Amino acid sequence: MPSVAPPSGRDRALGHLRSLLTDPQVEGGFINEQDVADAVGVSRTPVREALLILASEGLVDLEPRRGARVAALTPRETAELMEMRGLIERFAVQRALAQRLSPHDALAEVMRRQDAVTAGLDRLTFEQARECIELDREFHQTLVDAAGNALISRTYAALREKQVRVGISALSIGPSRWNAVTHEHGAIVEALRTGDQAAAEKAIDDHLSITLRTILTGA
């Protein structure tokens, strides 16, 4: 069996930066290349290469003589993100149910893991909120993967940093939002379990529209 090459310095820097970019508090701030290089254990060159990739994805803005600024998600961009997610997720539902490959069991398992994180908690720490949102992203990625279209799955996965940042922002209003998310996810799972495409699509639309309203209005 051929050996697997270790990740390059650029890839290690990229992974570190992607993790940083999921924090809503970094929006608008500048990234210190040396701090990243020290944290990852590489020179600044791989860090700059990683920043070029992130700039091409619209996650950072490269400003001459100032460096890389973390791009903020505007209300319009957030709305467009939710619109794109809705299009992809509704298509995934259609394809999965048409092929009788409903992912409801796998989605229910993700929900059980979500419940294990929040059980008995009245308030979420930032790290707990991040873990919840990573599981939320896994929930939706599992739904999309059920369509069996690798290109669509990769396109959806590329939205990770923005999805996590948006999700953490939504949870910042308090635990009531997470309780609502659990209920909204449950509606999606139940519709898929019964094979009701219209109900599943409506549950997805409701979930994304409520999340968007929460982010834009803070309530």
The torsion of the CA quartet 180, 193, 96, 132, rounded to 10 degrees, works out to 30
Q: What is the torsional sign of CA 27, 29, 35, 41? A: positive
CA–CA dist 178, 124 (Å, integer): 9
Residue 140 contacts residue 85 (beta carbons within 8 Å): yes
**Residue-level pLDDT at 173:** 60
**Residue-level pLDDT at 4:** 59
Task: Return the structure tokens found at 29.
Answer: 């701030």
The reply to whether the predicted model has a pTM over 0.85 is no
**Residue-level pLDDT at 124:** 72
CA–CA dist 76, 58 (Å, integer): 14
CA distances from 148 to 160, 185, 198 (A): 19, 21, 20
Q: What residues does 68 pair with on adjacent strands? A: 31, 62
**Residue-level pLDDT at 196:** 97
176-216 residue pLDDT tens: 777 788 899 999 999 999 999 999 999 999 999 998 998 88
Secondary structure of residue 149 in the 3-state scheme: coil
Pick out the chain residues at pLDDT < 50: none
